[in-house]
Structure 1
């Protein structure tokens, strides 16, 4: 087999995987995991049932693959936000606000983010606890690393960067997403207020003022 033939085989394999993943995601979201059969996935993807099993083993592994692939888009949003706003800046408060605003806009415009939230919410019982924990860790990892660096540089007081990251998310973009009505449009003043006040609350707990206040108590 020559190089040209190998490339064609690999491309075909990639195409089939993409079709299977897209079909599985659509069915899991519309019908639910339990009501979606491998036969239905194969038919929607235009492949044989055997091909689905060959690629993913079983329906459980297919669900894990769908969630994992969908979470990749959320990771990309976080990476982009860190690159745009948390790598070089003059004002930490403003940088954190801009990071959250960009993430909210990206998430609200992303079918991947809404699909991830729905899949994890709908299929929590079918997802191993260890998998969900790893999913949380992977989405938080880059922010944890950045907050650790801020602590080392004296910008934050973060003895537990992982906990600080969870607090930051809970006070800002997660609070926006958890509102009873969809207010993610940044023209909405409520969204801006939640993010701004959430960042300020975070910095009161973990920022330089918290460091100075702690030092005053010890003196």
Structure 2
């Protein structure tokens, strides 16, 4: 009898949970809104104060939620940091996917395509987002939680996949598209990103030596060097 009652209570609890999930879309939206507020607050604080200098109390205060709410949704500061990194990475992946489809299109002049791709990534993914700041945060400070390599490397993997297609079409000589993608990124995007960040940190004025002009020249030189090796 006792066992039957226990099974009955478990079934009722399962039904109640299922009903709650179906009948509370408003509660679900409020929960998602709180999660977004916490991530927005955390991102701003991590960029301003660094990982070690940011506390869960500060995140909760900035997000205007209780500390308990932060812990209920995310568990701890490391998880929050990784979720913020994932969100930044997801935005970058979306930008890279669009740039590959629109700039590295079949039949387009290869140099023109690579120049367009490089400028698109530097101008839209780095200059107009928090990606550069988070790149510095994760690469220069220790210890800082890191996303799995497969997640971090996804943008370069997508570029390698397109380089493999270009190699199959005879547009590139790339026996290892992954290596070619890393070489291209190092010669163009990463070099332009680092130079731009350094000049912005130094507060240089616009002009012929402005960060955008420097990045443009780095990308052009990098594309030419890449094509000399791979075409």
TM > 0.5 fold call = yes
1:67 Cα deviation from its structure 2 partner: 0.9
Runs of 4+ in structure 1 deviating by more than 6 angstroms, as ranges, are none
Specify which of 53, 60, 66 is matched with residue 48 of structure 1: 66
Give 2:120's aligned residue. Answer: 102
Cα distance in 2 for partners of 1:18, 1:116 equals 18
Structure 1 contact 73–113 (Cα < 8 Å) conserved: no
1:132 Cα deviation from its structure 2 partner: 5.3
1:192 Cα deviation from its structure 2 partner: 2.8
TM, length-normalised to structure 1: 0.83
Cα distance in 1 for partners of 2:135, 2:95 equals 15
- Mapped pair 1:205 → 2:229: yes
Gaps of 5+ in 2: 1-18, 201-209
- Mapped pair 1:151 → 2:171: no
DSSP-derived class of the 1:94 partner:
helix
Specify which of 89, 101, 104 is matched with residue 71 of structure 1: 89
Give 1:169's aligned residue. Answer: 185
5 Å-filtered alignment, 1:1-219, equals: 5-128=23-146, 131=147, 133-179=149-195, 180-182=198-200, 183-185=210-212, 188=213, 190-207=214-231
Cα distance in 2 for partners of 1:102, 1:197 equals 16
Cα distance in 2 for partners of 1:98, 1:146 equals 15
Task: Give the RMSD, CA atoms, in angstroms.
Answer: 2.2
1:122 Cα deviation from its structure 2 partner: 4.9
Equivalent pairs, count: 202
Larger Rg, first or second structure (1 or 2): 2
1:145 Cα deviation from its structure 2 partner: 0.8
